[in-house]
Structure 1
Amino acid sequence: MNQALEILVCVLLLSGAGFALVASWGLAKLGDIFKRLHGPTKASTLGVGGVLLAAMLWQAMQGVPSLRELLITLFLFMTAPVSAYLVARAALSSDASLRPGPPPGQDGDA
């Protein structure tokens, strides 16, 4: 069972690193601010979450409680959506051309 847990830790570390790599690549290569928001909020949250989950599992295998990693994970999952919302709202308020138009089929008449 110990070897299976070590393999799980390795898989979590590799998948977390892969998600973090995709997030940083997307942040650097995507065009506008709204496309760039997906990198830090979606993929990097999964990447850091995978690495922290691997760290918690590894420390549990060693018999050490891992409250610190749990708190970091909770803080990350609470703050990432809020920061993305605030960045998107700031982008919309600073540049009116970024605002979406009315839905198709509506002339704007009430």
Structure 2
Amino acid sequence: MSVGDVITAVLLPVGAAFSALGALGALRFPDLHSRLHAATKPQTIGLLLILGGVAPQAGTVSAAAPLLLVGFFQLLTAPVTAQTVAGAAYRAGVVDHATLTVDESRREGEDGPWFANRSGEHRPE
């Protein structure tokens, strides 16, 4: 058994476990922000571990190069997607404000989320 086989034997199951726990968290967590966290953080780590486990089996650097691209684009797109979905949900008023520890988008003296309408007025949820 080579070193590459040992790396693969360790990283593939660990990456699969991270991905499975992230999927379980996305199903079980109570609110949107917790679900987004579970859908992005462990899924990304799981995918990177799986890619790291597959890379030694690729044989050549040119065969493993697409794995680096997949990992790079996962690291680039997952946080941006989560931030965009969370921001849209906040602006739509579907976020439970009781679950937020800090709400930096709320203005002083307002009870709910705010966003500007076309006339420039700010209105609470």
Q: Taking structure 1 as the reference length, what is the TM-score of the superposition? A: 0.81
The answer to which structure, 1 or 2, has the higher relative contact order (CA under 8 A, 6+ apart) is 1
The alignment's C-alpha RMSD in Å is 2.2
Structure 2 residue aligned with 1:87: 85
Relative to its length, the structure with more helix (as a share) is: 1
How many residue pairs match? The answer is 102
Q: CA offsets, 1:59-91, max 9 Å, x none?
A: 1xx235211111110000000110010011011
Listed as ranges, the gaps of 5+ residues in structure 1 are none
Distance (Å, rounded) in 1 between the aligned partners of 2:14 and 2:37: 18
> Do 2:32 and 2:95's aligned partners in 1 also have CA atoms closer than 8 Å?
no
Structure 2 residue aligned with 1:21: 20
Query: What pairs with 1:1-110 in structure 2 (closer than 5 Å)?
Result: 3-59=2-58, 62-63=59-60, 65=62, 66-95=64-93, 98-99=96-97, 100=100, 108=108
Alpha-carbon shift at residue 93 of structure 1 (Å): 0.3
How high is the sequence identity, in percent, across the aligned residues?
28
Listed as ranges, the gaps of 5+ residues in structure 2 are 110-125
Question: Once superposed, which parts of structure 1, at least 4 consecutive aligned residues long, lie more than 6 Å away?
Answer: none
- SS where residue 37 of structure 1 aligns? helix
